[in-house]
Amino acid sequence: MRRTLEQCAEAFFDAAWAGVAVRLATDVRLKTDLLKRHGIGSALASVSGAVTLAPDGDCITVDKLQDKATTAHHTGITFVPSVFGSPHLLVVHAPGWQPVVQYPVAEPSPSEPVSLETVTLRLEALAHPVRLRLLRTLARGPHTTGELAHTWELSPPEVSRHLAVLRRTGLLTPRRHGRYVRYTLNLPALTALGTDLLAAVLR
Protein backbone atom coordinates (compact mmCIF):
# COMPACT_ATOMS: atom_id res chain seq x y z
CA MET A 1 0.00 0.00 0.00
CA ARG A 2 2.78 2.41 0.92
CA ARG A 3 4.61 1.77 -2.36
CA THR A 4 1.39 2.37 -4.30
CA LEU A 5 0.89 5.70 -2.56
CA GLU A 6 4.52 6.66 -3.25
CA GLN A 7 4.07 5.86 -6.94
CA CYS A 8 0.86 7.89 -7.04
CA ALA A 9 2.68 10.78 -5.37
CA GLU A 10 5.33 10.74 -8.07
CA ALA A 11 2.64 10.62 -10.74
CA PHE A 12 0.38 13.41 -9.54
CA PHE A 13 0.04 13.89 -5.76
CA ASP A 14 3.29 15.83 -5.41
CA ALA A 15 2.43 18.25 -8.19
CA ALA A 16 -1.10 18.75 -6.87
CA TRP A 17 0.15 19.25 -3.32
CA ALA A 18 2.59 21.94 -4.39
CA GLY A 19 -0.32 23.90 -5.82
CA VAL A 20 -2.66 23.64 -2.82
CA ALA A 21 -0.41 23.45 0.24
CA VAL A 22 -0.31 27.23 0.74
CA ARG A 23 -4.11 27.55 0.54
CA LEU A 24 -4.62 24.71 3.02
CA ALA A 25 -2.06 26.11 5.46
CA THR A 26 -3.63 29.57 5.21
CA ASP A 27 -7.06 28.12 5.94
CA VAL A 28 -5.75 26.31 9.02
CA ARG A 29 -4.17 29.51 10.33
CA LEU A 30 -7.39 31.46 9.81
CA LYS A 31 -9.51 28.81 11.56
CA THR A 32 -7.04 28.62 14.45
CA ASP A 33 -7.05 32.39 14.83
CA LEU A 34 -10.86 32.51 14.83
CA LEU A 35 -10.98 29.76 17.45
CA LYS A 36 -8.56 31.61 19.74
CA ARG A 37 -10.07 35.07 19.31
CA HIS A 38 -13.80 34.44 18.88
CA GLY A 39 -14.45 30.88 20.04
CA ILE A 40 -15.60 27.64 18.51
CA GLY A 41 -18.86 29.06 17.15
CA SER A 42 -17.07 31.49 14.82
CA ALA A 43 -14.58 28.83 13.77
CA LEU A 44 -17.39 26.42 12.88
CA ALA A 45 -19.30 29.12 10.99
CA SER A 46 -16.20 29.75 8.86
CA VAL A 47 -16.15 26.07 7.87
CA SER A 48 -19.55 26.33 6.19
CA GLY A 49 -22.85 28.13 6.50
CA ALA A 50 -24.36 24.69 7.02
CA VAL A 51 -22.43 24.15 10.28
CA THR A 52 -23.77 25.75 13.45
CA LEU A 53 -23.17 25.44 17.18
CA ALA A 54 -26.10 25.13 19.58
CA PRO A 55 -26.51 28.02 22.06
CA ASP A 56 -25.44 25.79 24.95
CA GLY A 57 -22.28 24.84 23.01
CA ASP A 58 -23.00 21.14 23.42
CA CYS A 59 -24.22 20.22 19.94
CA ILE A 60 -22.98 20.85 16.42
CA THR A 61 -25.60 20.79 13.68
CA VAL A 62 -24.70 20.13 10.05
CA ASP A 63 -27.56 20.97 7.72
CA LYS A 64 -27.59 17.98 5.36
CA LEU A 65 -30.37 16.01 3.69
CA GLN A 66 -29.97 12.95 5.92
CA ASP A 67 -31.21 13.24 9.50
CA LYS A 68 -28.71 11.36 11.64
CA ALA A 69 -26.79 11.96 14.83
CA THR A 70 -23.60 10.70 16.47
CA THR A 71 -21.57 11.54 19.53
CA ALA A 72 -18.09 12.99 19.67
CA HIS A 73 -17.64 12.76 23.42
CA HIS A 74 -14.13 11.52 24.32
CA THR A 75 -13.20 11.28 20.62
CA GLY A 76 -13.49 14.78 19.19
CA ILE A 77 -14.13 15.67 15.56
CA THR A 78 -11.62 15.79 12.72
CA PHE A 79 -12.06 18.66 10.24
CA VAL A 80 -10.35 18.14 6.88
CA PRO A 81 -9.96 21.10 4.49
CA SER A 82 -10.12 20.34 0.77
CA VAL A 83 -9.64 22.41 -2.37
CA PHE A 84 -11.07 19.68 -4.61
CA GLY A 85 -14.50 19.13 -3.06
CA SER A 86 -16.08 22.56 -3.53
CA PRO A 87 -18.88 23.25 -2.88
CA HIS A 88 -19.65 19.99 -1.09
CA LEU A 89 -19.55 19.45 2.66
CA LEU A 90 -18.97 15.80 3.57
CA VAL A 91 -19.65 14.29 6.99
CA VAL A 92 -18.61 10.71 7.76
CA HIS A 93 -19.37 8.92 10.99
CA ALA A 94 -19.98 5.42 12.29
CA PRO A 95 -20.46 3.92 15.77
CA GLY A 96 -17.14 3.81 17.59
CA TRP A 97 -15.35 6.01 15.06
CA GLN A 98 -14.35 9.64 15.31
CA PRO A 99 -16.60 11.84 13.14
CA VAL A 100 -14.91 13.49 10.17
CA VAL A 101 -16.02 16.66 8.39
CA GLN A 102 -14.45 17.43 5.03
CA TYR A 103 -15.14 21.01 4.00
CA PRO A 104 -14.22 23.11 0.96
CA VAL A 105 -11.58 25.78 1.37
CA ALA A 106 -12.77 29.13 0.09
CA GLU A 107 -11.50 30.21 -3.30
CA PRO A 108 -8.79 32.86 -3.09
CA SER A 109 -10.19 36.34 -3.62
CA PRO A 110 -9.52 37.56 -7.14
CA SER A 111 -6.36 39.60 -7.44
CA GLU A 112 -5.94 42.83 -9.30
CA PRO A 113 -5.80 42.29 -13.06
CA VAL A 114 -2.31 42.24 -14.53
CA SER A 115 -1.62 45.32 -16.60
CA LEU A 116 -0.80 45.19 -20.31
CA GLU A 117 2.57 46.77 -19.48
CA THR A 118 3.43 43.90 -17.11
CA VAL A 119 2.31 41.31 -19.64
CA THR A 120 4.45 43.01 -22.31
CA LEU A 121 7.51 43.06 -20.03
CA ARG A 122 7.07 39.37 -19.24
CA LEU A 123 6.76 38.42 -22.90
CA GLU A 124 9.86 40.45 -23.73
CA ALA A 125 11.76 38.78 -20.89
CA LEU A 126 10.78 35.34 -22.16
CA ALA A 127 11.81 36.19 -25.73
CA HIS A 128 15.50 35.77 -24.88
CA PRO A 129 16.72 32.15 -25.36
CA VAL A 130 19.11 32.28 -22.39
CA ARG A 131 16.32 33.31 -20.03
CA LEU A 132 14.15 30.51 -21.31
CA ARG A 133 16.96 28.04 -20.55
CA LEU A 134 17.33 29.47 -17.04
CA LEU A 135 13.59 29.14 -16.46
CA ARG A 136 13.68 25.50 -17.58
CA THR A 137 16.20 24.80 -14.85
CA LEU A 138 14.35 26.85 -12.23
CA ALA A 139 11.15 24.96 -13.02
CA ARG A 140 12.84 21.91 -11.46
CA GLY A 141 13.56 23.74 -8.20
CA PRO A 142 15.35 26.73 -6.59
CA HIS A 143 18.90 27.53 -7.78
CA THR A 144 21.57 30.08 -7.00
CA THR A 145 23.25 32.27 -9.62
CA GLY A 146 26.39 30.14 -9.38
CA GLU A 147 24.46 26.90 -9.89
CA LEU A 148 22.72 28.27 -12.95
CA ALA A 149 25.99 29.57 -14.37
CA HIS A 150 27.62 26.16 -13.90
CA THR A 151 24.66 24.29 -15.43
CA TRP A 152 24.62 26.37 -18.61
CA GLU A 153 28.35 27.19 -18.77
CA LEU A 154 27.74 30.93 -18.45
CA SER A 155 29.49 33.56 -16.40
CA PRO A 156 27.82 34.51 -13.07
CA PRO A 157 27.55 38.22 -14.09
CA GLU A 158 25.73 37.24 -17.29
CA VAL A 159 23.31 35.03 -15.35
CA SER A 160 22.77 37.82 -12.80
CA ARG A 161 21.76 40.24 -15.55
CA HIS A 162 19.20 37.81 -16.95
CA LEU A 163 17.85 37.00 -13.49
CA ALA A 164 17.45 40.71 -12.78
CA VAL A 165 15.25 41.07 -15.87
CA LEU A 166 13.09 38.12 -14.82
CA ARG A 167 12.83 39.42 -11.27
CA ARG A 168 11.61 42.83 -12.43
CA THR A 169 8.74 41.16 -14.28
CA GLY A 170 7.69 39.17 -11.22
CA LEU A 171 8.51 35.79 -12.75
CA LEU A 172 11.13 34.96 -10.09
CA THR A 173 11.17 35.06 -6.30
CA PRO A 174 14.53 35.45 -4.50
CA ARG A 175 15.04 33.88 -1.07
CA ARG A 176 18.20 34.32 0.96
CA HIS A 177 19.76 31.24 2.58
CA GLY A 178 22.78 32.36 4.58
CA ARG A 179 25.36 33.73 2.17
CA TYR A 180 23.42 32.67 -0.92
CA VAL A 181 20.28 33.79 -2.72
CA ARG A 182 18.20 31.03 -4.29
CA TYR A 183 15.76 31.88 -7.06
CA THR A 184 12.35 30.22 -7.38
CA LEU A 185 10.11 30.30 -10.43
CA ASN A 186 6.79 32.09 -9.88
CA LEU A 187 4.82 29.28 -11.48
CA PRO A 188 1.32 30.82 -11.05
CA ALA A 189 2.42 34.00 -12.83
CA LEU A 190 3.99 32.03 -15.66
CA THR A 191 0.99 29.70 -15.97
CA ALA A 192 -1.45 32.62 -16.09
CA LEU A 193 0.51 34.54 -18.72
CA GLY A 194 -1.72 33.49 -21.61
CA THR A 195 -4.89 34.34 -19.69
CA ASP A 196 -3.40 37.65 -18.53
CA LEU A 197 -2.49 38.54 -22.11
CA LEU A 198 -6.00 37.83 -23.36
CA ALA A 199 -7.60 39.77 -20.50
CA ALA A 200 -5.28 42.75 -21.05
CA VAL A 201 -6.02 42.82 -24.78
CA LEU A 202 -9.79 42.56 -24.31
CA ARG A 203 -10.04 45.15 -21.52
Q: How many helices (H) and strands (E) does the chain have?
A: 9, 8
State the pLDDT confidence band at 203, using cuts at 50, 70 and 90.
low
pLDDT at 202: 65
> Is residue 104 within 8 Å of 85, Cβ to Cβ?
yes
The domain defined by 116-202 carries CATH number 1.10.10.410: no
Q: What secondary structure does DSSP assign to 57-86, as a single string?
A: SS-EEE--SS------TTT--EEEEESSST
Domain with CATH 1.10.10.10 in the chain: 116-202
State the pLDDT confidence band at 154, using cuts at 50, 70 and 90.
very high
Residue 22 has pLDDT above 80, yes or no: no
Specify the pTM: 0.47
